[in-house]
């Protein structure tokens, strides 16, 4: 026998071929060593040849656009098994179109008769106690912020905070109040100016709030004007809703205070202060305060002389008052 021929350096010996007619034996694939990352350095061990799948990579067609293929979407290289699912709607937000009762922010909770009157008019009262709770409701486009202190006391700080949040979000503000008359010692309610000052925005810290007062009786108007001016507010008075329109153009009020029974109703035809505020883009930034006055006309001279004073009391809950309040809400909430 002859000794095996020497192989050139760097080559591997060729495997012997089986005799003709015998099947080839399958050679198990050789394992590949993975890169080692020890010591912070990557080393690739020599890779031995093994069995595997073959791929053909062709050049792009003559007129085909070159560049990376999209990974997903129509004709993409990656098929998306789970299409995006719509997020469930928040049942607190009204669907489109607004076919639910329209949201009305209220504080405090309305009494039974007011709640029923609001529901009959198509409102859904939502109670809010803080600025954060007002902010959380803005996405639902509430009709207005309605402060009606019949069922509980209200604080000046909370009232100011709610008013600021509503005005910042361009939500109209309507506040109700009642006025009583008694001697200074017998008056059991707060000075109306305390409530009104908390509600009145101002152009700047250097400018006093401007209050437009709509009151038919001169004695009541003078008493309110005196207490407001003592607390640093400017007051302009109109005897009727129609007269207030002319005065508002000159005075540009920050706050409107009016006898609820003097507010023009929709069927009366002529424009009132609410229409002027809307037409001039001021309705969402000028709070409105409507009051009912439990003052006997025979006692008006005592009010004018200073023998008696006005104080905050519970408003009237008569059927006409409830109807006027809900109608006014529907007017200021129509934007």
pLDDT digits (tens, 9 = 90+) for 221-252: 999 999 999 999 999 999 999 999 999 999 99
Q: Is a pLDDT exceeding 80 seen at residue 59?
A: no
Q: Is a pLDDT exceeding 70 seen at residue 291?
A: yes
- The whole-angstrom separation of Cα 96 and Cα 205 is 41
Q: Which of 35-49, 90-104, 194-208, 269-283 is predicted least confidently?
A: 35-49
pTM above 0.85, yes or no: no
Domains and CATH numbers, the chain: 102-332 (3.40.50.2300)
Q: Does 241 or 82 have the greater pLDDT score?
A: 241
- The whole-angstrom separation of Cα 4 and Cα 36 is 39
4 DSSP assignment: P
Predicted local confidence at residue 71, as pLDDT: 44
First to last CA, the chain: 110
Q: What is the CA radius of gyration of the chain?
A: 40
> Which of helix, strand or coil describes residue 177?
strand
Angle at 98 (CA atoms; ends 94, 102), nearest 5 degrees: 75
162-184 exposure pattern, b = at least 16 Cβ within 10 A, e = fewer: bbebbbebebbbbbbbbbbbbee
Cβ count within 10 A of residue 99 = 8
- The whole-angstrom separation of Cα 269 and Cα 199 is 29
Taking Cα atoms as reference points, which of 120, 301, 104, 140 lies closest to residue 218? 301
H helices of the chain, in order, are 112-120, 131-137, 156-168, 192-199, 218-230, 241-251, 273-279, 300-305, 319-332
pLDDT digits (tens, 9 = 90+) for 2-14: 555 555 555 555 5
Query: Chain-wide mean pLDDT for the chain?
Result: 80
- Helix or strand (DSSP H, E) at 94: none
CB 115 within 8 A of CB 151: no
- The whole-angstrom separation of Cα 302 and Cα 312 is 18
């Amino acid at each position: 026998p002859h000794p095996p021929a020497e192989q050139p350096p760097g080559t591997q010996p060729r495997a012997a071929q089986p005799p003709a007619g015998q099947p080839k034996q399958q050679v198990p694939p050789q394992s590949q060593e993975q890169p080692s990352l020890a010591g912070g350095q990557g080393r690739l061990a020599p890779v031995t040849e093994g069995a595997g799948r073959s791929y053909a990579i062709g050049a792009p067609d003559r007129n085909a656009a070159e560049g990376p293929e999209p990974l997903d979407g129509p004709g993409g290289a990656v098929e998306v098994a789970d299409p995006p699912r719509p997020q469930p709607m928040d049942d607190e937000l009204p669907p489109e179109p607004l076919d639910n009762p329209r949201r009305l922010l209220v504080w405090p909770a309305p009494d039974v008769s007011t709640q029923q009157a609001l529901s009959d008019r198509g409102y859904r009262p939502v109670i809010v106690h803080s600025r954060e709770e007002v902010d959380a409701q803005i996405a639902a486009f509430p009709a207005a912020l309605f402060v009606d202190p019949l069922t509980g006391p209200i604080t000046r700080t909370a009232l100011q905070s709610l008013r600021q949040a509503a005005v910042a979000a361009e939500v109209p503000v309507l506040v109700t109040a009642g006025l009583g008359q008694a001697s200074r010692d017998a008056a059991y309610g707060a000075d109306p100016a305390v409530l009104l000052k908390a509600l009145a925005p101002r152009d700047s810290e250097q400018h006093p709030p401007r209050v437009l007062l709509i009151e038919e009786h001169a004695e009541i108007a003078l008493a309110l004007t005196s207490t407001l001016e003592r607390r640093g507010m400017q007051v302009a008075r109109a005897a009727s809703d129609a007269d207030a329109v002319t005065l508002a153009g000159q005075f540009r009020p920050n706050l409107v205070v009016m006898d609820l029974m003097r507010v023009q109703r929709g069927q009366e035809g002529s424009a009132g202060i609410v229409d002027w505020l809307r037409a001039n883009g001021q309705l969402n930034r000028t709070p409105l305060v409507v009051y009912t006055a439990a003052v006997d006309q025979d006692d008006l001279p005592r009010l004018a002389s200073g023998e008696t004073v006005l104080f905050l009391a519970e408003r009237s809950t008569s059927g006409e008052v409830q109807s006027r309040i809900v109608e006014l809400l529907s007017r200021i909430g129509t934007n």
